[in-house]
Chain A
Amino acid sequence: MNAHPLAGLIAGGARFVTGVNASWKEHRPEDRQTVFFANHSSHLDFAVLWASLPSHVRRTTRPVAAQDYWESGVRRWVAVDVFNAILVPRHGSAAPSSQRAAETIDRIAEDMGDAFSIIIFPEGTRGDGEEVAAFKSGLYHLCQRKPDLQLVPVYMENLNRILPKGQFLPVPFICRVNFGEPAAYAPGEDKAAFLERMRDALCALRSQ
């Protein structure tokens, strides 16, 4: 499928504003279904990560976004029409029902089909840009459903400085997007251990 023309424009704009600098490890991910998972500190995260991907990967990569935030008006148009996002309900920390969580994962797995890669922010919400919060368990459940997925950690630097949570005026900084070595779910791996391993892989990409 072809990307929405505006998507290219937004990606170009994001590249221009952030002067983004993508760095890849020696082992580049293979061209197959991938979960790019990244730290989350700014509204620009998705656009910048997406803009840093090679164009043929970009065409088949969809963001996963929180339904409650992106559901209506212009936001919905940007998320769904422009970026072809997969919108999922977000579960507050108050007792997520496992029933609904399972539905969410079903939804993502179904929308991915066997062609689409996704971009997720497993912390679930934007952080302060310094600490990477504990991962929500969605990544684990998705790997239970689709164990062959290639998992690529992406550490994004300085985006919180451009547009910190709660600010709406941007300040230009040069961003770095560090792509890590592709990983995979090890069959039988314990949930907590797996999530911790993924989080460590992400944190290891910090340059300072």
Chain B
Amino acid sequence: MIARVASMDHALLLACGGILVLLAIATAIGQVLRVTKPPSATIVNLNQRIYAWWIMCLVFGLTLVVGPTGSLVLFGLLSFLALREYVTLIKTRRADHHTLFWTFFAFTPLQYFLLGIKWTGFFIVIPVYAFLFIPAMMALAGDTTAFLERAAKIQWGLMICVYCMSYAPALLTLQIHHGFGPDAKLLLFLVIVCQLNDVLQYVYGKLFGKRKIAPNVSPNKTWEGFIGGALTATAIGAGIWWLTPFSPPGAAALAFMIALLGFAGGLVMSAIKRDRGVKDFGNLIQGHGGILDRMDSVIFAAPVFYHVVRFFYGL
């Protein structure tokens, strides 16, 4: 373990140090607010969120130290839990039982296994094979009620919770030129920009938010929050260009893209929650909600980020 940490390069250590400093500052602010302001639900929630951030950073950091396998196992588990939150929320019928079993225990692990052995089949297993397998299984089960709807919902969940999510650890297998080997730093760049963008959109929204973007979907998403968050996240992305094979303008452009996609992910997931009449997908992460509530932006940003990086910087 210590050898692993020692062998991590300076850029990676610097980024981890930066995250620790950021967490410490957030914790200090949270505690000052708790002591000086009258007690309120917002401050309690803020401190819960900061506490949960420590845990999330710790878990994420540890899996990075363990190596690619660590990240694969972590994201595999996140996919599994996200899919569980998703199917709990949608309506399924009894006849879907076997199809769901295969979705959870065959396609989900298979996706991460294929990534682990770096076989390019990971691009097509869910969009093609699962896509055909799911309706076939369901037809065999013999229940035709809302057939297409049920098949589409399961396929959609698999695409979002497993396929799109798996693009995040897939960054660890990406071959980049200029001697920038497959490396945890691309994943770190994606996660830092994505999550800071979420936090910043929330903070700017709370401070300056007035004009709602989609009031029917999410009352918390405002133009002020979106623009402030996206621009700051872009600046931060440009500021940590040294973590990546990108030039500073390239890093800024990619960070901006991540911010836009992250916003879209949050909006889509809000629409689903609104339709089903719930506030959060789950309550696994205190103060944040479920895995899908926290990962919605990464899920949308990861696949596009992967392909754009591969196109411009890949071998």
Q: Which residues of A contact B (CB under 8 A)?
A: 19, 21, 128, 158, 161, 164, 167, 169-174
List 25 interface pairs A-B (beta carbons < 8 Å), by A numbering.
Answer: A19-B282, A21-B283, A128-B94, A158-B88, A161-B92, A164-B94, A164-B97, A167-B97, A169-B97, A169-B98, A169-B101, A171-B87, A171-B100, A171-B101, A171-B104, A172-B83, A172-B84, A172-B87, A172-B104, A173-B84, A173-B87, A173-B88, A174-B84, A174-B85, A174-B88
> Bound complex: CA of A37 vs CA of B94, how far in Å?
25
> Bound complex: CA of A170 vs CA of B84, how far in Å?
12
> Bound complex: CA of A19 vs CA of B87, how far in Å?
13
**Which residue on chain A has the smallest CB distance to residue B87?**
A173
CB distance from B299 to the nearest CB of A (A): 19
CB distance from B281 to the nearest CB of A (A): 9
A174 and B98 contact, CB distance less than 8 A: no
**Which residue on chain B has the smallest CB distance to residue A169?**
B101
Chain A residues with Cβ under 8 A from B101's Cβ? 169-171
New A-B contacts (12) at CB < 8 Å, excluding given A171-B101, A172-B104, A174-B85: A19-B84, A19-B282, A19-B284, A158-B88, A169-B98, A171-B97, A171-B100, A171-B104, A172-B83, A172-B87, A173-B84, A174-B84
B54-107 with Cβ < 8 A to chain A: 80-81, 83-85, 87-88, 92, 94, 97-98, 100-101, 104
Q: Which residues of B contact A (CB under 8 A)?
A: 80-81, 83-85, 87-88, 92, 94, 97-98, 100-101, 104, 282-284
**Which residue on chain A has the smallest CB distance to residue B103?**
A171
B104 and A174 contact, CB distance less than 8 A: no
| Number of cross-chain contacts by CB at 8 Å | 32
B80 and A172 contact, CB distance less than 8 A: yes
A174 and B97 contact, CB distance less than 8 A: no
> Bound complex: CA of A173 vs CA of B80, how far in Å?
11
The 8 Å CB contact of A174, one of B94, B100, B282, is: B282
> Bound complex: CA of A173 vs CA of B42, how far in Å?
30
> Bound complex: CA of A167 vs CA of B92, how far in Å?
16
> Bound complex: CA of A19 vs CA of B281, how far in Å?
12
Chain B residues with Cβ under 8 A from A169's Cβ? 97-98, 101
Most chain A beta carbons < 10 A, residue from B94, B98, B100, B101: B94
> Bound complex: CA of A167 vs CA of B81, how far in Å?
22
**Which residue on chain B has the smallest CB distance to residue A174?**
B88
**Which residue on chain B has the smallest CB distance to residue A158?**
B88
CB distance from B94 to the nearest CB of A (A): 6
CB distance from B78 to the nearest CB of A (A): 14
**Which residue on chain A has the smallest CB distance to residue B283?**
A21
* CB-based closest 8 A-B pairs: A174-B88, A171-B100, A172-B84, A173-B88, A169-B101, A171-B101, A164-B94, A167-B97
CB distance from B275 to the nearest CB of A (A): 14
Chain A residues with Cβ under 8 A from B284's Cβ? 19
CB distance from B138 to the nearest CB of A (A): 14
Chain B residues with Cβ under 8 A from A172's Cβ? 80, 83-84, 87, 104
Chain A residues with Cβ under 8 A from B94's Cβ? 128, 164
CB distance from A12 to the nearest CB of B (A): 16
